[in-house]
Structure 1
Amino acid sequence: MDRELTPYRVRKLTEQALRPGGGFRARRAAARLCRPETVCLSHTSAHVEQLVHLLRSAPDPEMADQAARTLADPRVSGDPKLLAWTVTTLTNRPYSYGRLDGELSGRVLDFLLGPEVGPSRLETCLAGSGSLLHPRQSAASVGFWFIKAACTAEDDEVRARAGAFLSRTGQPHLLRALEETVLAAVGDRFRLMFSYAVDAVWKQRPILWDDDGEPSPLLRLHLANPHLPLRPGEKTPLPGHVQAHNGPLLAVLAQREDLIADYLAVHGPKVTVDSLFEGAAQRVSPDGFAAACRGALRALPVGPARERLCQKAARDYRDVGRAIVRETGWVWGDDEAAFCWFTEQWERYDALDPDGARLRAYGRTHRDDDDLFYRAKKIAKKTSRPNPFPPRPDPDRTPTSPRNRGPIGGWATSYGAGGFSTH
């Protein structure tokens, strides 16, 4: 009859099983540790941890396979707590809980993706046992770990099998983790928002393309999954700022421009248009990506989204917005002549404002707009046309400037006042 093993006894049996040279006593200790009945009777995380230790470190492959079979036994893996403890231990190196640095080996992958029929153990754990994981982990963090491991595992077969699984899974935690990881890569590539959760797992931030412009393994996994990209507004725990700023570019990457309308509705025109503008202005990107972003901008609906693009076209130093408004004929809601001047549509401007009166009036009423002030200064210098903005006083020559404030010494710490004297 099987008896419960104390944590101390479990540790001693593991030491015997892993003793160099092996032999009969090592095999007997492993056999006792690997009885499913004993594991269920003990029902401790310590027993599970030592079985995972055997699976990873046993010098005898048969001993490692024996530990793997025990962990996969329905009596063990069917228990929510034992399954959660197993997944927690597999995702971390020994005694490093919360770091999510465990290696994804073939045996580990066999456990996570089994059984062959029905949902995998990984999906089952994330769906029902996530709350039983180690306090430093969550179902989301396990998802981040698996995605990174699937992209960076040293074994080609492991990467291929894990990638095939991720490209078809519909498990919500895995989908959200995959979406956020790719969104973080978008943010890093285009200098937008990043994700703290992704940075905690990926010590080096994930990439979208390699040096040859080919999609990275991470991006290929995302593009292959039919459930992605996620529609904005769905009830997901994705960080709102990351989805809002980076999501429109991901929609273009995935050739899902139909999602742009959802981004405009959920996150507003400012952040959505600005994101697409960054993509359209890219000079170094995969073939067709910048053009696709420009196409998404040209397809913006009438209203605040077009107005935001017109504002960007007039204010931004890059020409991409001006090229679009010239093609489409769009005008902002303010003075049309001023818009044509700021977007350098000279024939159209000269016809609307031949004597420049409208432009000068616009400059007087908008003299405090810094973006337009410096943009006008640059255009005037480039084209030799008169600057419509009145000059601003030189801050170095105003009465409040320290240069014209009077004799030094008003404060006790001023130079020469003795406050910090070295004498």
Structure 2
Amino acid sequence: MLAREHDQNIWKYAFASVAVTVSTLGFGRMSYGILMPFMKENLAMSYKQAGMLATTVSIGYLVMVIFVGLLASKVGAKKLVVFGTGLVATGLFMLSVVTSYTLTITSMLILGIGTAFTYTPLITILVGWFPRKRGMLIGFLVSGMGLGTLISSTLIPFFTTWFGDLGWRYLWFFYGVLSIVSIIIAMIILRDPPIPLLKKEQQKRSFYKRVYFNKRVLRVAFIYGLVGFAYLVPQSFLFSYILEVGLTKYQAGQIMAVSGVMAIISGPLWGGVSDRIGRKSALLFTLAIGATALIIPVLFPVYIGLLSSQFLWGATIVGMLSLCQALSTEQVHPTYAPVALGYVTFFFAAGQLLGPGMGGWIIDHFNQIPLALMMCSLLLGIAFILSIRITEHAVDLDVTELEAKPVLANFCMKEGSPEKS
């Protein structure tokens, strides 16, 4: 096997990977929405300028993520993780001292590029060492985004109380310090997995045919894109809908908090389930439950209905993300896993860019938030239909592991396996 999957090794790698994910995706991407009101007021930005900062992070991520898989297979995943986290730390420190809009948007671009350099290589490391636990471990990574958001939500009241109007600057600086700590943790614990060898006849086949035009990879990519399209619409507009139906801000906060808490455990929960019952079955369950969750607020716009909806949505949405990522790595030879993951993530990022805009257009045009929720439910239904024909374990792990043995033996003498780290 590529590595003996002892609990001790799994949890060491899970801890290091989550630490990096919290710093990069949690602080670098998800925390801006929480700090934005304070930055907007202190820097005298318009809503349009503030919105452009969020878009800039997504653009930086979208532009780089498709190339990161190629780089990981050439220079090593660990180097990219350290480099990307370093970029994120740089962007976070810059945000703590920005005085102009130009410098601020530059900082956000650095954050987007940095996060692209970390996430895909992290999954490459985990999948390479622990192929049969990939579902659970990828789930932990995805939950790092929710954990970072929860930490930001908890800390911002204290920092604004202690430091007044400049509290957001000190918080960005604090995030930068935590990112440096996560780099040190990653350097100590993480190791690049051995790269399995392709047979000679396999090496002659077109690289693009094996990944970019691979029907199995494209199927997962389209499903992941549909999930990405639906992902941010409820997060962007549901709070307003809750207020529109007559509930208080306190009740709306309770409902959204339930979704956030469930999102933290959703990834490892469904990842672990998929390791037992299969990725395809678990994905079908999450898509069906998620599509139902978005219809409930339309049919039952009352407190219990909205609360049930967000409980189910939070319990499944992160699971969808982690399952799509795990499935993408199973459609190709392990050598191409980081490339396939970066490729399907491009579709997801594109969906994220388009989803809120389309949802906002529907709401503005028809003056109906429920229509946007119904659109997302329909998209998840289409993803469900596409998922029925997914192929699980398209590449036989036992075969690739046998092919990798000579590489593993040589690698362990040089670097050491997780058991020796």
Quickly name the TM-score band, shorter chain normalised: under 0.3
| Larger fraction in helix | 2
TM-score (norm 1): 0.20
Structure having the higher Rg: 1
Higher relative contact order (CA 8 A, sep 6+): 2
TM-score (norm 2): 0.21
